[in-house]
Amino acid sequence: MWIPLEIAQNLLMGVKPIATLAHRHHSTGVNADPVKAREVFELFGRFSPVRGKDILEIGPGHTLEVLAQARVEGAKSCTAIDIVDYRSPDQAGCGGVTFMRYDGRTLPLESSACDLIWSHTAFEHLRYPGQTVKECFRVLRPGGSLIALIDLGDHTFYGVEQPQPDKAFDCLRYPEWLWNLMRWNRSSYTNRLRKSKWIKLFKEAGFVVRHEESQESGPITDALPSLPYLHQFSLEDAVTHVMTVCLEKPL
């Protein structure tokens, strides 16, 4: 990674017409693949049924099909919210899903408007994670759930043919000011929060953690002694790569 080039790319992506052009070429993960969308739907469905529920998805990217599936299975309403509109012209009225674009700060929804909030590999991209977690708490009804899968890895090397496994958390090498200067405007920006920090934010917002599961990175566990930038973290924070949580807003 050549830092001046990273900074230049980030500054360019701060120019709106350039960012709009670049968005057309982004991959957002599931990318509206129907098989993968079904898998994500089933993951969310493990924690809470959808029938009769008002559901919000944070950060769907190109994929409105997860919520469209929920509509088919009896959800009362489905809303997708993102900071970028990645919809293709075919998706404009996708399966009864309402799409909203916002600035990534205050969710444009009434308080207690939803029963369920879903998010798949979007929380790690939140520029204002503490605010968004509080906003999720606000827009959920008491007894409602937030289900999120969060990918804690460095997204720099995603899509690279032969990524180096011990670089999975390379983003943690950089001080925050430099990381933001290299990434803030780019889709590969990640907030780099570790597992314990997420759990703290969820609890501080008032959520009860009903379920939490994590996947650790084997290569990082093996390489840990030679990765000094990870030594500031607890072992769990240093090696957790993916976390899935089901949180409840108490009655």
Query: Restricting to residues 75-94, which ones interact with ligand SAM according to CB under 6 A?
Result: 81-84, 86
Question: CA 180 to CA 197: how far, in whole Å?
Answer: 18
Nearest distance in Å: CB 185, ligand SAM? 12
**29 or 144: CB nearest ligand SAM:** 29
Query: Restricting to residues 199-238, which ones interact with ligand SAM according to CB under 6 A?
Result: none
Across the chain, the runs of DSSP E, i.e. the strands, are 54-58, 77-82, 97-101, 114-120, 140-151, 208-216, 240-248
> How many residues belong to the site for ligand SAM (CB under 6 A)?
20
**38 or 227: CB nearest ligand SAM:** 38
Verify binding: residue 28, ligand SAM, rule CB under 6 A: yes
Verify binding: residue 153, ligand SAM, rule CB under 6 A: no
Q: Helices (H), strands (E): how many in the chain?
A: 9, 7
**144 or 153: CB nearest ligand SAM:** 153
Q: Which of 197, 203, 50, 206 is nearest to 116 (CA)?
A: 50
Q: What is the DSSP string of 213-242?
A: EEEE-HHHHHHGGG-GGGTTS-HHHHHEEE
For 52, half-sphere exposure in the C-beta direction (CA atoms, 13 angstrom radius) is 3
Query: Restricting to residues 39-58, which ones interact with ligand SAM according to CB under 6 A?
Result: 58
**87 or 194: CB nearest ligand SAM:** 87
Residue 104-133 contact track with ligand SAM, rule CB under 6 A, x = bound: x---------------xxx--xx-----x-
**99 or 233: CB nearest ligand SAM:** 99
Q: Which of 94, 89, 111, 85 is nearest to 37 (CA)?
A: 94
Question: CA 98 to CA 108: how far, in whole Å?
Answer: 13
Which residues contact ligand SAM by CB under 6 A?
28-30, 58-61, 63, 81-84, 86, 104, 120-122, 125-126, 132
